Every structure is written in C-alpha cells, then in structure tokens.
Structure 1
Amino acid sequence: MGGADPGLFGPGSVTWHCHGDPMMWIAGVRALYLQALHPRAVRAVMENSDFRRDAWGRLLRTADFVGTVTYGTTADAERAGARVRAIHRALTATDPATGERYPVDDPDLLLWVHCAQIDSFLHVLRRSGVRLTPAQADRYVDENRAGARLVGLDPAGVPADTAALAAYFEEVRPRLAAGADARAVDDFLRAPPVPALLEPGRKLLWRPVAALAYGSLPAYAHRLYGRPAPDPRTVTRRLRLTGTLLRSIPAGLRWRLPPGHILKAMRRMGPGSRPSAYTLRSPASILDRPGRA
C-alpha cells in the first residue's frame, strides 16, 4: 500500500488523527453557533438555503465535505472543493444593515467560516481530552490551510498557527453581532423541529449536545447571544465526560456509519493509517517530529 495516495493530509498529519474523533460532531455544532455571529455570513446562509427545513442536511453535507477532504484521495478532495467553489460563485446575498448585495464567495466571509470551524474543532477536541501539544495544535491550524484553499482562499492569508488564529478573532470581534438571523440559528439549535414521535429523543440526546456546544463558546459569544454563560469548569467536566463516553464506543462501529470515509482510507492506506487518539498523546509521537505532515 506504500504507493497509495494519502490525499491532502495523510496518516502522518495531526488532522488525520483529530478528525476521526467522535467529539467532532459537538465541535461542528459549536462552529455553527460561532459562524452565525457574523451578520453577512449568516445572511448568506439564510438567503441561499432552506436552513430551517434542511439544517440536518446542511450539517451532514458539511461533515461529508470535511471527511472527504481529510480522508479522501487528492482527486476526491479537489473535486469536493471545486463543487463548493462553483456553488458559492453563483450566489449573492443582501447585507442586513445596508441592503448592499455581495458575493457569497467574498474572501472575508470564507475566512470567517474557515476560522470559526478550525477554532471550534481544535477547542472542543483539546477541552474534551485530546492532549495535543502546542506544536501539534499549531500544525493542525497550519495543515488546514489546505482546506481553506479548496473553498477559494489564498493559504498565505489564512492563519498558520494558534497565535495567528487568536489574533484573527481579536481583529474580527467588533464586526460580530447576534441579529435576527443569529437568533434564528440559536432557536433552531436549541429545539430543532422533529416529528412528534422523536421529541423525547430530541430532549434526551440533542439538547445536551447543543448545550455543550453553546457552553464551549467564548465568553464574548455568550454575551452577544444574550443567554447566560454556564460555568466554564462545569462545561469542561461535561466535555471530558462526553468525550470519554463517546470514545468508549468501538471505533470500528462508529466508522461504519455512512459515508465511511475513514474505513475507505484505511483500506487504501493500510492498517497503520488508523486514526488514533493514542498517537496524539504519545510522548514519542511521529506527529511531533518535523517533516512528517
């Protein structure tokens, strides 16, 4: 299998191991909460998709894109990126404050969506118990500039480490707000519409997920949404507990769920390509050695 195409990342990358973690689902919901605080970004979603009726489909399509880019072949990732760029290129939206029409593929909006996603993935994984070293966290941010390129960004203008990512959020914070669109996203995520028979399941399974995702947001996001900020220590304990529980589910069982990106990648690359939290925790991890991305 030595000649198999590793794709954009490969088993020697931090991203390969991080994106196989089950806490990525909570991280994805956190990203939605954060992304909705950019008025132009959330307006583009509201105008160009049936978010309220197809939010589940949107979440699954995003997860499929991340899975394809992470574990697919180079050709798979490039095709997925081309599809996203083509869709965005054809769309415009209306600024909720000025009435100005703007393109959905505005680089400022693409950068916000990318940074909110990467920050959410990294934050939730680390806070729930994935013990990345500072160097590994920086590598993760740097590696994912490859995904930013696929959606139409110049990687040179995308944060390449955690310090640059934090500086980006400091710079953009004055432009964030929780307007009507953000509140609609918040309302949906707190109580997404489901058939009556599934309402008990929503209360039992979904609400804790949404609450954890919301709780893990930065303090300024809680202030903008205007809802009480839970105690950070309680959120961290719950994230750790949830991470422990989800990671106790056999990976082979979790990875069999469609579309099965990880299992396909392991068949292509061999058993040594298995994404593993242990690899990230190991003091002698290959991921801490230079030149293995």
Structure 2
Amino acid sequence: MAIMSTLLISLLILSFSSSSTSLSSNYYAKTCPNVESLVRKAVRDAATSDKKVPAALLRMHFHDCFIRGCDASVLLDSKGNNKAEKDGPPNVSLHAFYVIDDAKKAVESACPGIVSCADVLALAARDSVVLSGGPSWDVPKGRKDGRTSLASETIQLPFPTFNISQLQQSFAKRGLSLEDLVALSGGHTLGFSHCSSFKNRIHNFNSKTGVDPSISPSFAAGLKKICPVNSAKNAGVPMDPSSTSFDNKYYKLIFQQKALFSSDKALLDMTKTKNLAANFASSKDAFTKAFIKSMIKMSSITGGQEVRKNCRVVN
C-alpha cells in the first residue's frame, strides 16, 4: 500500500463520491441505445477465442477502480517519460486490452464521442461475469475518463500478501466495507495466478517453517512442484479448479485450506469476514447477490474528466 497523506486520501474519496451521483442505468438511452449490445459482442467474440478474457477484464476493472476511481486510467499507454498504470509492477500481467479497444471502436462507430472508456470497461467486466456463468446486473453509466495514469500509484492496490487489517484499510479508503471486501474477493473464482503471488506461503514462510501452516500440506506440495524455489520461470496455477466458471468454490477452498493468496486466507482471521465467507461458501445465491451489490458500489467510484476517443491516449 502506498504511503499517502490522510488529507490526500480524504480528498480522493470525496472526489470519487461526489461525482458518482451522475451515474444512471439509462444514461445512454437516447444518445447511444445500443452501447450494451456492442460491448457485449466484443467481449463474447474475444472470449470465444480466449477463455482467459473474462477473468482478465474483471481484474482490469478492479485495478482501474482502486487507483483514481473507475476512470479508465488503467487503459492509458505510457508516453515519453510518463510510465502509466498498466506498466506498474502489479499490472504488468494485465492483458486483453485489445478487447476494450475493439468494443470502443464499435461504440465510436455507432455513437462518436458519447461513451467513455470507463463505461465500456465497466460493461465489459459485467459481461465477463455473465459469460462465465455468473449473474447479470444493471451497470450505472455516465463515468468520465481520467487524464492521469501513473505507474507509481499502482502500489495502492491491495497485495496478495496483505493481512486482514491491511485489506480492511485498503477497502475502507475507497469507501468499501468488510462485506464488500469479502464479496469482491470472490472474483478470484476466475483466472490464473503466477507463482510470485503466493510463493511467500510455500517457500521460507518464516524462521520456523518453510510452508505456511494454514495451507493444506498436500496442496502446498503440489504448488511447490509447479513453483520450485529457485525457478526463474514465473509459472502459475488456476485460481481454482473451475477457474473459467463464476461460482462460489473460491470460498469453499478457503475453508479447505486451499486458498492461494495470503489475502484469501486472511478472510478467516476476523470473525465477521469469516462468517461472511462461510455464508457465501454454503450459498451461491447469497454470494451472487452480495457480489452484485458490491460491484455496483465499487464501480460507482468515479473521478474522470473527459470522454476519450481512443482509450489508450487522452484527447
């Protein structure tokens, strides 16, 4: 987590909150009525060719919202001496930017200069969940695109090594509750993790043991085979055995001591978050309802200033 002054954090939250009031599910009803179908087609076409696309777009949206609000700053390319968010250490594994490019191109052809890249990304994240067998929801629209993107700010993202106190602080600074923390963590049901994100749990855990004692020994042994201690190759594993399907198995794995990240296991370290995780593990319906609520809340953190013509560059 970046060391930011309390004043700056407060100003960021105030800015995000004040601009979110303009969002509306029918924002483009008259100006670009086909925007949702256009974005949906771009995501569906890409996912047909690459099953990793949905997870990538959901993660991209999360990483965008947690820096300067959901302003598509994660989509901007580095230019000159400015290193953009997408080239920051936590974001170098982000991919599928081309899907947003394709969706934006289609939208611009139908409704030039109307729909923000931030809205395209928010819609694409929702469509990614739906295509993976998850729930749908009405996405509030009307976000603006930001003009600033700094790789140095990506250290504000919650790390996979975070404990529950660090996670709670990170989410609270974005106006997100413990309920949001546990529900949004369920997004880890989709996707792939590189060894670097969980090697702290299977190699040299502390001075007493090499493996985190809170991880299943057999699970850890399998991970160590894929991620040997001195390997130069950053291999990895699926987030869960059904990593292309949006379900509640992520929570079940936590209770089976088969969570990949320290931040996943950390949900069991506080009574409230543990109870929420247990509820989601036993009820997919409870999870999906909470996930929808928290996704809408997170994606309503805004902060942009313009509608970009090209998602990779400011106007």
Normalised by the size of structure 2, how large is the TM-score?
0.28
- Greater share of residues in helix: 1
Greater length-normalized contact order (CA 8 Å, ≥ 6 residues apart): 1
